[in-house]
Chain A
Amino acid sequence: MRTVDNQLTVRQLIFLLISSFIVLDGHAVELQTQAKNESALFKDDWLCQKCFYPEGWELDFESGLAYLGGEPYYFGHYTGLDEKGAHLLADLSAEYWRKDATFFSFQGKNLGLESRQFEMTGGRQGIFQADVFYTAIPVRQGNQGETPYLGAGSDTLTLASDWVAASTTQDMTQLRTSLNQVTLDRTWKKLGMALSVNPWENWQLDLQYSQIDEQGKSQTAGSSFFNTAGLIKPINGKTEQAVLMALYRSDAWKLRVSYLVSDYVNRYESLSWQNAYLSTSGQLQGQQALSPDNESHSLDLTASWQWLVHTRINGEVRFGQMTQNQPLLTQSLAASQNSYLSSNAKVETFNAKLKLSSRILQPLNLEWVIDFDERDNQTPEREWLQFENQFSSPFYQSNFAYDYQRKQLAMQGEYYTSNGWQLLAGIDTERFSRSHQERRTTQTNDLWFQTRTQLNEWAGIDFRLNSESRNGSDYQALRDEKGVQNSLMRKYHLADRDQLAARFQSMFYINQHIDLLLEFEHSEEDYNASLVGLAQVEYQRMGADLSYIFSDSSSTYASYSQESYRSIQNGSQHFADADWTGTARDRYDVIALGIKIPDWLERFNLQLEFQVADSKSRTQNDTGGLFVEFPLLKSRWEQVKLELEYPHNDSWFFTVEYRFENFDSNDWALDNVEVDTMPQMIAMANEPRHYRINGLYLTARYLITAESSD
């Protein structure tokens, strides 16, 4: 395990913020005095006597308890509320104003939970601003998993000392008795600061720094060709990122230069595990490389120029570099080693974009865009001896340095008719070149048309139609020592494709109080030259949203949406013509209803919400006329939320919230899969996700308001 130095802590960041604040505040006084003398815009005698200019501190503190019943583990995914019982809720907002526009604010949410976040901002408005921010996101991926391995969360997984290796899971006599329950949890934390200064007129300088720490456990697998095992890998990485940006703006010009550097350090370089299977060659351990340390730099120049009366040019050039040179792991099999110590991986990227927009005639606007994007992978391509397992002979395989180059030219016109129709049409052409792919270049042409208008006072429509076609160069066999691809296979991002898409949206303002939105979307993708691979995709969505505003601030809404997706693909079991067809049909329905009455019984603020999201997925397979269907994959999420707020006076507010949430899912890939269900795999035995919670949230909010300065 490697150690990482120079980590910034919250305390250090706050210290930095305060130091910056003190230094810049002095500078700000000087600048502001100068500004006042120059413009003399703000005078005390302008002040509105009846206006409320707060001065001093304001505090808004909300605290309470949430009580959760039921099975809340997966409810804690992203919320941190993953255990039954009481949880502390605390939100705090503190603000400070001074008459000279000096300000400080602290906004904290979920401070008592693992999903806490806060932001502190201070500065003198118009002169400088400094921020410190923090966000934590808890990730809950499973608490039911079982594994015979010990040491979950570390980089070495071992088996019980009395483990007897066997060829299949059924023959592993100690498997059932040596199981350990594991949770797959991790936390993602981001801490950062930003400083923005306006040092001179028309200039802005920004400096941002952030670090992301991710720690916990995640699922992976370790295979040795015939056998495999579900494993737990440690997550313990840190990303530091800094951005320096300078902006100059005038009435005609805007120029922005930014430099970004990002550095990722993984505290673990590999995961090793004891081989649970019988090994004839004496292979007792497996090893997997974890994400390597890497860094990325980019320099970005952006400009916007109001060139002529009605002509504007926007452009951007970006140079990037990504490098990774972590020492490679030694081979886990006792065999001759590859002679290179590291991959010396390096990728350079270049992106240039130019956009010209011109309203050459008053109702007509034309736009041209050229976009160039290149990934130049300069990693040396070498032959690497591959040791897959104890049964197969080592073989050589090259690492491929994947490059690509994308060139795009887009043109569009926009025309306003005298009776209020907006007509848009355009053509996009994209040419994509890739290295080490069966097809070197593809060309995509997209022709589209759109119109929108407000038909009358109560109805508006928006309609868009796209027709896209993609073709490309001839297919060629790839240099690949390990496995030659079926020559009939057409990868879906390279294959010839015709696509037709239509979208229609209509908004009805039925009267002063009622709005209705209707939406319909349909698209079809036809991979007509793909004998093996994805053949057809169809997507459809329809939705309706109704809202009714029945007083100045009270409203109710209802919405329904349905999405369906169908894909058909062909495969070949015999490395020849297609001999099976797989069809996947997904459907997703959402219903949401809600009502909001801020002055219910002239005393309460009432909010009631009900939502259901239901998904189903069918997978069917047709092999030579034998038609079979997998069990239905489904998930359903239901939520009922009732919130009642009682404003006792100007300072005290009391809230009661009841929340019911239920999530249930069925997944044939996980249902009834035990550790030894598969002879060649020690499974983790994770169950499909489900949770059901009844939550009662009681909070009291106290507000201290500042005095008016005038």
Chain B
Amino acid sequence: MNFYFLKYLTGYFILALICLSGWSTFLFAQDASVINENGGAKENAEKKETTDINKPHYQSAGKCVSCHNDPALLQIFRTPHGQGADSRTQFAEKQCKTCHQSEQAHGDRRKMTALPAPGHQVVLKFYRDNSDSAKQKDAPCLGCHQRNSTHVMWQDSKHQRAEVACVDCHQLHPAKDPALDKTRQFEQCKSCHKKQSNDFRKANTHPVRQGSMGCSDCHNPHDSTYKNALTYSRESDLCWSCHAALRGPFLFEHQPVTEKCTLCHSAHGSIHTGMLTRRAPLLCQSCHSSRGHPSLSLTPDSLPGRRPSPFVLSQSCLNCHAQIHGSNHSSGGVLTH
């Protein structure tokens, strides 16, 4: 491997980091209170103060439930968040007030104010016209969940940058959060990803609409490292995790296959057979025109009733080059064997 490029870039970045370090330290040295914008540090700081269980706000759920007793809301006790025996959960500490407005703030039912109660940073109301920022809404969640293995790169991820709050996708109160249920996840994601949702109605797709695959089988919506939030750094590695038969390495490879599956396939769905981006033979003729096997102009004359041709009918080019993903036959140089 040639590390020259890496060495060069590493040097460049170390230099940039040193410059930024000096600048940032100078600008923000006095602003220690905002050390963690997502609230994690503050949450932890608050946790350290929570050992005094006699503080009234730790016994709040009883008061809340006496009014907010809709069975749908009380499903939270069937979720991981409702398990008081787990010291990390809401119900081991501030209960409802971990996420919602404290009683001081909404004691007067006529004023559902968004102002924080004294001493409370987390003041939220999760209803439709909520004008709180994503950062405000996310603070109580990220205090714990940013530490999850799947959330390591949440900060600066596409969803975080687009101000998608945790509660825009996740629901805490139902016994089963639809976003975590592979069979219902698609319904959740499609509320924003309209194009992808329509792709799954095409004639050739992965079984997402049918509930056998979830969006999270290929994407990690909490991660920022990989392109399109894929679960693997290299796109083909992701495809091969299910289609390992096509992984090879083959004796005779088809070069685009080694590079990226989406050079020929549409991962979310296609109107063409095999989830191809375009139809053979035109797709193949975009790259191949060789001596002895010229790029023929194929017309409807090749259809049944005229001069039917295997160049066009049935599987077109694959009628001969059936080993399009690679061949392990010593005579497989043109991907026929």
Contacts and interface: CB of A to CB of B under 8 A. Distances in A.
A126 B248 contact: no
Contact of A673 (B6, B86, B201, B314): B314
Interface centre among B32, B69, B240 (most CB of A within 10 A): B240
Contact of B319 (A667, A677, A681): A681
Given A101-B86, A384-B330, A571 B319 contact: no
A39 interface: yes
Given A49-B62, A404-B259, A670-B314, A254 B147 contact: yes
Given A678-B314, A681-B319, 7 more contacts: A42-B84, A223-B319, A294-B248, A329-B330, A372-B9, A399-B251, A628-B300
A50 B73 CA distance: 13
B155 A251 contact: no
B114 interface: no
Interface residues of B, number: 146
Q: How large is the interface on A (under 10, 10 to 19, 20 to 34, 35 or more residues)?
A: 35 or more
Interface in B237-270: 237, 240-242, 244-253, 255-256, 258-259, 263
9 contacts: A219-B315, A230-B319, A251-B44, A289-B328, A402-B253, A571-B296, A573-B297, A613-B198, A633-B279
A304 to B, nearest CB: 5
Interface stretch (A16-24, A159-167, A340-348): A340-348
Interface stretch (B35-43, B101-109, B116-124, B166-174): B35-43
Contacts of B245: 214, 237, 239, 264, 266, 291
A397 B28 contact: no
A39 B298 CA distance: 76
B336 A628 contact: no
Interface in A125-169: 125-126, 135, 137
Given A230-B319, A294-B247, A328-B330, A372 B5 contact: yes
Contacts of B21: 307-308, 311
Contact of A262 (B78, B244, B263, B319): B244
Interface stretch (A3-11, A172-180, A468-476, A481-489): A481-489
Contact of A532 (B24, B203, B289): B289
Given A357-B155, A484-B290, A575-B291, A292 B61 contact: no
Contact of A360 (B24, B92, B299, B310): B24
Contact of B198 (A188, A357, A561): A561
Given A51-B61, A340-B330, A681-B319, A314 B308 contact: no
Contacts of A239: 242, 244-245
B315 A221 contact: yes
A580 B155 CA distance: 51
Contact of B211 (A48, A109, A328, A489): A109
Interface string B190-202: 0000110010011
* 3 A-B pairs with least C-beta separation: A483-B290, A580-B297, A291-B245
B323 interface: yes
Interface stretch (A61-69, A315-323, A599-607): A315-323
B113 interface: no
Interface stretch (A275-283, A373-381, A651-659): A373-381
A318 B233 contact: yes
B293 interface: yes
Nearest to B256: A493
B12 to A, nearest CB: 8
A55 to B, nearest CB: 10
B179 interface: no
B313 A683 contact: yes
A354 B23 CA distance: 21
B83 interface: yes
A37 B125 CA distance: 34
A343 B62 contact: no
B322 A223 contact: yes
Contacts of A49: 62
Interface string A322-350: 11101011011100001010010111111
Contacts of A554: none
A681 B27 CA distance: 75
B296 A573 contact: yes
Given A304-B153, A404-B258, A374 B225 contact: no
B315 A678 contact: no
A41 B233 CA distance: 40
Interface string A478-499: 0010111110010111000000
Contacts of B285: 569, 571, 582
A628 B287 CA distance: 23
A289 B310 contact: no
B310 A681 contact: yes
Contacts of A264: 244-245, 247
Contacts of B273: 667
B291 A386 contact: no
Interface in A621-639: 621, 623, 628-631, 633, 635, 637
B202 A482 contact: no
A355 B160 CA distance: 15
Contacts of B241: 241, 262
A41 B50 contact: yes
Contacts of B155: 304, 312, 357
A617 B271 contact: yes
A428 to B, nearest CB: 11
Contacts of B1: 348, 350, 374, 376
A590 B201 contact: yes
A242 interface: no
Contacts of A99: 85
Contact of A387 (B6, B211, B299, B331): B331
Interface in B198-234: 198, 201-203, 207, 210-213, 224-225, 233-234
Given A312-B156, A331-B331, A561-B198, A377 B279 contact: no
A680 B320 CA distance: 11
B5 A407 contact: yes
B202 A613 contact: yes
A288 B337 contact: yes
A390 B172 CA distance: 69
B249 A436 contact: no
A185 interface: no
A348 B249 CA distance: 10
B152 A575 contact: no
Contacts of B78: 54, 58, 95, 97
Interface centre among B304, B305, B333 (most CB of A within 10 A): B333
A388 interface: yes
Given A237-B244, A326-B328, A485-B289, A567 B35 contact: no
A489 B291 CA distance: 12
Contacts of B305: 672
A528 interface: no
A313 to B, nearest CB: 8
A534 B283 CA distance: 9
Given A48-B95, A308-B24, A324 B248 contact: yes
Nearest to A294: B247
A695 interface: no
Contacts of B225: 302, 314, 316, 353, 355
A100 B320 CA distance: 64
A486 B295 contact: yes
B93 interface: yes
A388 B334 contact: yes
A353 B13 CA distance: 12
Nearest to B249: A345
A249 B310 contact: no
A483 B292 contact: yes
A669 interface: yes
B87 A39 contact: yes
A54 B74 CA distance: 11
B160 to A, nearest CB: 10
Contacts of B319: 221, 223, 228, 230, 681
A359 B163 CA distance: 16
Contacts of A188: 242
B222 to A, nearest CB: 12
